[in-house]
Amino acid sequence: MIKIGISSCFMYPDKERTVFGHKSLSYLENDMARYLTRKGVLPVLIPDVADELLEDILIEMDGFVFQGGVDLAPETYGEKPIGKWKGDAYRDQYELKIMDYAVKNSKPVFAICRGMQLMNVYFGGTLYQDTITQNPNAENHRSAELYDTIRHPIDFVEGTLLDKLYNGVENPHVNTVHHQAVKDLGNDLEVYATSPDGLIEAFGYIKEPEGKVFGVQWHPEFSPTLGAAVINEDLLYEAFLKHTR
């Protein structure tokens, strides 16, 4: 069985929370769980444990998925906060350890939304802390109310992975649920797709075969909400799984 390690989302102690209010929680969003689970694939939520124990777990994984969630902390990519967007520096460091293990050990990586932003930072890139205020050309890519019911067109870079996967698809669209975005592209990353306003929507690591280490800015696990109005999410996962077998 293929074992896919999934980086945890975190909730921290909150005395107003009735259940486990004084404790930290690690969790996996349910749509992500359904997206990654299929015959012969075992999703494994990677716990937040001491480094010497963490590595023993990572060794057992055949590939890694980095899920979405809260912003990255500006300090993680060498900046000071420009406003209220403080991010989650603790989760950043937890996930960067996993990313470092995966890349250095040539393990497949599929990075989604925050995960793609984390990958960009791992390879030396930076982010817009607040895309709307820092990039005058950017559209609003997130609505807390409409969430995964909004979408936009996407442009694939000719000859790259996504252009090949979705060859023949007319007027492709993806959902959009992100606040931050790639500003400076990291080292050894190749852009796979952009949005009409010029933001980077997907990229891959050029020192591994196409589809082995890549990220997308949208949420393929949320695609069932819009159905045929967005591109087929399974093609992305299958491209990743091919390298885990």
Write the DSSP assignment of 92-118 as a string of letters: HHHHHHHHHHHHHTT--EEEETHHHHH
Give the up-direction half-sphere exposure of residue 154: CA atoms within 13 A in the CB hemisphere: 26
Its pTM surpasses 0.85: yes
Enter the tokens of residue 203: 């990229």
pLDDT of residue 136: 79
pLDDT of residue 35: 97
**Domain ranges (residues) in the chain:** 2-241
Check whether 37 has a pLDDT greater than 80.
Answer: yes
CA 148 to chain centre: 15
Out of 9, 95, 113, 243, pick the active-site residue. Answer: 113
* Residue found by looking up tokens 């390690």 in the block: 5
Enter the tokens of residue 82: 């420009």
Out of 95, 201, 210, 221, pick the active-site residue. Answer: 221
At 105-161, the pLDDT tens digits run: 999 999 999 999 999 999 999 999 998 888 878 787 877 787 888 899 999 999 999
At 6-28, the pLDDT tens digits run: 999 999 999 999 999 999 999 99
Out of 141, 219, 233, 243, pick the active-site residue. Answer: 219
What is the CATH architecture assignment of 2-241? Answer: 3-Layer(aba) Sandwich (3.40)
Reply yes or no on whether 219 is catalytic: yes
Give the model's confidence band at 206: pLDDT under 50 very low, under 70 low, under 90 confident, else very high.
very high
Enter the tokens of residue 194: 């952009």
Question: Which run of H or of E encompasses 216?
Answer: strand 213-216
At 165-183, the pLDDT tens digits run: 999 899 999 999 998 999 9
* Residue found by looking up tokens 């159905």 in the block: 227
Reply yes or no on whether 113 is catalytic: yes
Q: Which residues pair with 25 in a beta bridge?
A: 11
Mean per-residue pLDDT over the chain, rounded:
95
Enter the tokens of residue 183: 């500003």
